[in-house]
């Protein structure tokens, strides 16, 4: 059997032409987006998706028109967190209409395109050797399609929830040359902060993407009985000055946040007076400040 690497040409598919047309559509779509923000982390499970969902809600509640791209193609979670998992996408001749949350935030996610609830995203390569390149190429393709073929309309903010790892950022920076900035999420542990430094170096020095700041998630735990703040991870570590200068906020651990995520309810809307909600709203405000927008 011939694999795609054996083909002397594009076998008549005009793949270059198709990708170029889509890249042009993407640039065209981005002209109606004021600010693009990528939410990333070096490590998995630190709260990128929770932060993205709640920042989107906070910015929407402030009167902004907000779109979200669940750029985690293999492990999409935002449709569930934002309460639109059962939404049916509407296709029009000019693209697909995003799902719209109860608050009015727009979302596109691989999760909304999979037919079955338990269907995984499979990238078929012809050999183990090709699998990595193939997956990376397909991921970038899917992301390009998500942004280019979604009818976003005019947006004040387009947030991208990236999968874990610093290696995804170059792809995003290439797709969105005028990326407004990145928000790096971490947890208070030495390993996590070490990876934050790598992400910051990659973004700032190699890709020349503006860094909006760092969000420290699950920073502490508030005792439900005595109200004291208890550290959740390493207690005796003081973050260095460079880290503190870029800090947009420290979000405490709150079991109600995890619960709200699981139920697809916007936590900041349901529990507006909790320390975590106040910190999340403050981060959203700092993002608006970064872009010089009135809050
Ligand atoms: N501050 C918090 N308080 C309580 N639970 C939280 C908090 N932040 C995140 N969580 C929970 O922790 C888990 C991981 O969060 P989330 O999925 O947002 O991380 P992630 O960085 O997007 O993960 P991945 O790298 O897999 O994409 C989820 O169950 C989420 O509900
Ligand atoms: Mg995630």
Assess if residue 13 is contained within a domain: no
Q: How far is the CA of 24 from the centre of ligand 1 (A)?
A: 35
Ligand 1 site, CB within 6 A: 41, 44-50, 72, 75, 77, 164, 217-218, 251, 253-255, 257-258, 261, 276
Q: Rounded mean pLDDT of 179-193?
A: 86
Ligand 1 mutation target, pool 43, 49, 214, 253, most atoms within 8 A of CB: 49
Instruction: State residue 2's pLDDT score.
Output: 53
Q: How far is the CA of 183 from the centre of ligand 2 (A)?
A: 14
Whichever domain contains 85, its CATH number is 3.40.50.300
Instruction: State residue 65's pLDDT score.
Output: 98
Rounded distance between C-alpha atoms, residue 179 and residue 30, angstroms? 10
Q: Rounded mean pLDDT of 210-232?
A: 87
Best-predicted range by mean pLDDT (60-64, 83-87, 107-111, 201-205): 60-64
Instruction: Flag whether pLDDT at 283 surpasses 90.
Output: yes
Instruction: Flag whether pLDDT at 155 surpasses 70.
Output: yes
Number of domains in the chain: 1
Instruction: State residue 123's pLDDT score.
Output: 47
Instruction: Flag whether pLDDT at 233 surpasses 90.
Output: no
Instruction: State residue 193's pLDDT score.
Output: 76
Ligand 1 mutation target, pool 50, 217, 276, 277, most atoms within 8 A of CB: 50
What percentage of the chain exceeds 90 in pLDDT? 46
Angle value at C-alpha 57, between 158 and 247, nearest 5 degrees: 75
Rounded distance between C-alpha atoms, residue 82 and residue 208, angstroms? 31
Assess if residue 12 is contained within a domain: no
Nearest alpha carbon to residue 80 among 263, 267, 259: 263
Assess if residue 192 is contained within a domain: yes
Assess if residue 21 is contained within a domain: no
Ligand 1 mutation target, pool 53, 258, 270, 282, most atoms within 8 A of CB: 258
Instruction: Flag whether pLDDT at 260 surpasses 70.
Output: yes
pLDDT band at 104 (very low <50, low <70, confident <90, very high): very high
Question: Whose Cα sits closest to atom 10 in ligand 1?
Answer: 258
On whether the CB atoms of residues 220 and 231 are closer than 8 A, the answer is yes
Q: Which domain holds residue 228?
A: 39-290
Assess if residue 31 is contained within a domain: no
Instruction: Flag whether pLDDT at 34 surpasses 90.
Output: yes
Chain mean position to CA 126: 30
Assess if residue 151 is contained within a domain: yes
From the alpha carbon of 251, which atom of ligand 1 is closest? 1
Assess if residue 257 is contained within a domain: yes
Instruction: Flag whether pLDDT at 132 surpasses 70.
Output: no
Q: Among 1-10, 61-70, 281-290, where is mean pLDDT lowest?
A: 1-10
Instruction: Flag whether pLDDT at 169 surpasses 60.
Output: yes
Assess if residue 295 is contained within a domain: no
Nearest alpha carbon to residue 82 among 116, 45, 117, 53: 53
């Amino acid at each position: 059997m011939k694999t795609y690497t054996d083909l002397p040409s594009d076998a008549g598919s005009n793949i270059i032409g198709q990708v170029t047309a889509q890249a042009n559509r993407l640039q065209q779509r981005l002209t109606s987006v004021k600010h693009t923000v990528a939410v990333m982390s070096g490590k998995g499970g630190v709260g990128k998706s929770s932060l993205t969902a709640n920042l989107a809600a906070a910015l929407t509640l402030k009167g902004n028109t907000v779109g979200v791209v669940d750029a985690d193609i293999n492990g999409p979670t935002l449709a569930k967190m934002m309460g639109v998992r059962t939404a049916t996408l509407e296709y029009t001749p000019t693209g697909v209409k995003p799902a719209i949350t109860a608050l009015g935030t727009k979302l596109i996610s691989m999760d909304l395109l999979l037919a079955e609830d338990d269907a995984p995203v499979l990238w078929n390569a012809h050999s183990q050797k090709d699998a990595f390149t193939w997956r990376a190429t397909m991921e970038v393709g899917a992301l390009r399609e998500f942004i280019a073929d979604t009818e976003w309309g005019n947006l004040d903010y387009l947030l991208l929830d990236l999968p874990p790892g610093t290696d995804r950022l170059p792809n995003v920076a290439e797709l969105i040359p005028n990326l407004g900035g990145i928000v790096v999420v971490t947890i208070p542990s030495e390993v996590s902060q070490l990876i934050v430094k790598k992400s910051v170096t990659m973004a700032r020095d190699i890709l020349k993407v503006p860094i909006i700041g760092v969000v420290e998630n699950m920073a502490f735990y508030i005792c439900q009985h005595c109200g004291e703040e208890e550290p959740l991870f390493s207690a005796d570590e003081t973050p260095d000055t460079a880290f503190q200068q870029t800090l947009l906020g420290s979000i405490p651990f709150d079991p109600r946040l995890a619960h709200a995520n699981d139920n697809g309810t916007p936590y900041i809307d349901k529990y507006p007076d909790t320390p975590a909600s106040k910190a999340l709203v403050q981060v959203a405000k700092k993002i608006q400040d970064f872009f010089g927008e009135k809050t």
